[in-house]
Amino acid sequence: MSASARRGRRRGWSGWLGRLLLLALAWLLGVAGWIVWVGQRDQAAQADAIIVLGAAAYHKNPSPVFKERINHGLDLYRRGYAPVLLFTGGYGNGAPFAESQVARKYALQQGIPDSAIMIEAVSRNTRENLLQARKLMQERGLHRVIVVSDPLHMSRALRLSRELGIDAIGSPTPSTRFRTVHTQWRFLLQEVYFFHRDLVARVA
């Protein structure tokens, strides 16, 4: 093969590689855009329950992120969207109280009646949050739910709800504790990763 032919072949391969990289970048930007778009949509409507997804708790107090979620769930309850609050989240490493127990205590302090609160205290991640919530829904004959979480987390929460057969609509928190550009980008990149991980796990 002549030198000119070899150079032409290398240019051909580099051209295809460049196109593939551009397609991959466009795909990733599209996924990120979808996650942001879903997180900006508040679908709150009449439902049987409000599921507040768990987040970190510090001893007896919710973390700032969790507090935002709880407060939004309480607001939806007070506005009459659903008669039941379902708090999710188990025990963190070495934590004396489950996340859902902390949320329940906080809600009671805010004047929510105990009869309107359900909790599960064994889950450790979003999928388990929703799995345990589904069990409680089946026991109580609940069907449609509003899922509450952070805006950038909402896309994954609703996607997992569909996979688990939960009739869910999303209501992201109106504000987020992930306020700096660094934390928001980190959260977004994490959610883009989980989007692809869940695709692979579904196929496997």
Identity of the amino acid at 104: R
**How much is the pLDDT for 93?**
79
CA dihedral for 116, 120, 123, 127, sign (positive or negative): negative
How many degrees, rounded to 5, is the angle at CA 71 between CA 68 and CA 76? 125
Give per-residue pLDDT as tens, 135-168. Answer: 999 999 999 999 999 999 999 999 999 999 999 9
On the question of pLDDT at 203 being above 50, the answer is no
Which is more confidently placed, 37 or 176?
Answer: 37
Other residues' Cβ atoms within 10 Å of the Cβ of residue 194 = 18
- For residue 49, give the DSSP letter: E
CA dihedral for 183, 30, 126, 116, sign (positive or negative): positive
The 3 state secondary structure assigned to 63-96 is CHHHHHHHHHHHHHHHCCCCCCEEECCCCCCCCC
**How much is the pLDDT for 175?**
74
Give per-residue pLDDT as tens, 89-132. Answer: 999 877 899 999 999 999 999 999 999 999 999 999 999 999 99
How many degrees, rounded to 5, is the angle at CA 195 between CA 189 and CA 200? 130
Q: What is the CA radius of gyration of the chain?
A: 21
